[in-house]
Chain A
């Protein structure tokens, strides 16, 4: 490549790339403060009413079906999402970590098969897993609800935790573990005192990732959610199907702030470790 002009083009392209990533999000941010109640796309003035409205605070807005039905439905969706994400994260972190330990520290015949099987739920299109689970739960005669969503999320979240913890285990020397067992520590004590402290950051990272993915999942949840177990993404999807409402901007910003905060914490923790 010949010197300055080429790299200047590359730099311009890179900055454009970052702009492409962030401008659409920035637009939501700007419009979330627009006080125009008639045409949400035309800027009128600054207001916090959309935020106040989704939080159930008193606003100057006239009642209209233009807005999100009720704060109660929204809060129920938020609660459902948090319940699902919390339980699914706890279960899948335990399962994913146990499996990663088994694969990394033991040699057995079906090892390759397990590795392949664990990757599958991540690479399979969501819709296939979603309808397979729907048919399964319905043939079992289960009522769809939060419990089916949690079970469904555990399937693919375990795979993500498995991959993150495995990466951590692969980058870790085994000599400390060997020394500990040579010195007479039982496998459990070795795990508790030597292995666990070393892979703890990996487990925390995997759990964080699992939590975010669970909060974000729409497609699989869409098929296995019951009538009154809509999660937050489902709630938003439902509104968007019926048309865009100005409060969505404020809701989207709150949600973005939440996931960026969680993600930034995770990425920051990881960069500090290295």
Chain B
């Protein structure tokens, strides 16, 4: 065998397992889901094989030219999910930006220790990190007891099962996704540039707005995408901390599959989530060239 053709065989051998896995357990399932989303729901679960665009019409209504099945509840759920995901991104950003700055200025050994400490909770089970905040926010929880202890018991906020609780839970779980890309871009920032801007007469605020912010923008955007995506589709946090009061699109999809048994409608909702995420990612990739640049800008 010539070396060239043996290299070809090696390549084929290396790629075959991934090809089978991605095609069989990823692309085909996504294709079936896309197909389901335009089929009619069966009377007792399952699907009828006929073209049925109203699954999307139920959420989007008029844009499809048919408002017959339109129910504003679903558009509202979609908008609320987008809003809470955006708020989560802002909360994570505000918490992480100064913290990442702080870590980047620590001396060597301590910097490594703190980076280790920041990364470690990321490996803890997600359900346990959510549970930790349930302990804090539940009506008889740590927060209420803390207010009681300082004599402000009457003013203790009842946060459990509110949008606030969902944002707190999401932000806590997703913090590392914001911190690491931010840290990566802040770490690369040359302090001499800030020094130069202040030598040339810029105020600290001007220095921040004109030098620091633009140079760390890739980290900000990368972190925002990485937090936004899982926050938007999440259903564990809203199910445990939002209860029935804060329905997000993730819970609605889950309900359609496991309770309402309207799979085509659930599939259509999932396709809408996927579409919104893809638009966000394409916008990001178009701006910064690479999709995987999010982690290492």
A-to-B contact residues, CB < 8 Å:
1-2, 6-7, 10-11, 13-14, 17-18, 20-22, 24-25, 27-28, 31, 39, 41, 94-96, 98-99, 101-102, 106, 108, 114-121, 123-129, 131-136, 139, 151-152, 154-155, 158, 162-163, 187, 212, 215-216, 218-219, 222-223, 233, 236-237, 240-241, 244, 248, 252, 255-256, 259-260, 262-264, 267, 271
Contact = CB atoms under 8 A, between A and B. Distances in A.
Contact of B128 (A119, A127, A236): A236
Given A101-B14, A118-B22, 17 more contacts: A2-B204, A14-B102, A21-B118, A25-B121, A31-B135, A94-B17, A106-B14, A114-B18, A123-B281, A125-B273, A133-B29, A136-B28, A218-B126, A219-B236, A222-B254, A244-B134, A248-B131
Interface stretch (B55-63, B68-76, B138-146): B138-146
Contacts of B133: 24
Contacts of B277: 123-125
Nearest to A28: B132
A66 B137 CA distance: 20
Closest 8 CB pairs of A and B: A125-B233, A14-B102, A24-B132, A263-B123, A136-B29, A102-B14, A17-B99, A132-B29
A216 B33 contact: no
Contact of B270 (A39, A41, A132): A132
A12 B297 CA distance: 28
B32 A187 contact: no
B17 A98 contact: yes
16 contacts: A20-B95, A21-B117, A24-B172, A27-B142, A96-B18, A99-B17, A123-B277, A124-B277, A125-B234, A135-B29, A154-B25, A155-B22, A215-B125, A236-B131, A240-B240, A271-B116
A262 B30 CA distance: 33
A262 B122 CA distance: 12
Contacts of A154: 21, 25
B288 interface: no
Nearest to A21: B121
Contacts of B33: 128, 131-132, 135-136
A14 B117 contact: no
A27 B132 contact: yes
Interface of B: 6-7, 10-11, 13-15, 17-18, 21-22, 25-30, 32-33, 36, 95-96, 98-99, 101-103, 105, 112, 114, 116-136, 138, 140-142, 145, 172, 175, 194, 204, 207, 226, 229-230, 232-236, 239-240, 250, 253-254, 257, 263, 266-267, 270, 273-274, 277, 281, 291-292
Contacts of B21: 95, 154-155, 158
B18 A95 contact: yes
Given A21-B175, A99-B14, A155-B25, A10 B102 contact: yes
Chain B interface, >50% SS class: helix
Contact of A155 (B6, B26, B117): B26
Contacts of B263: 135
Contacts of B253: 127, 131
Given A24-B172, A135-B29, A241-B240, A41 B145 contact: yes
A20 B99 CA distance: 11
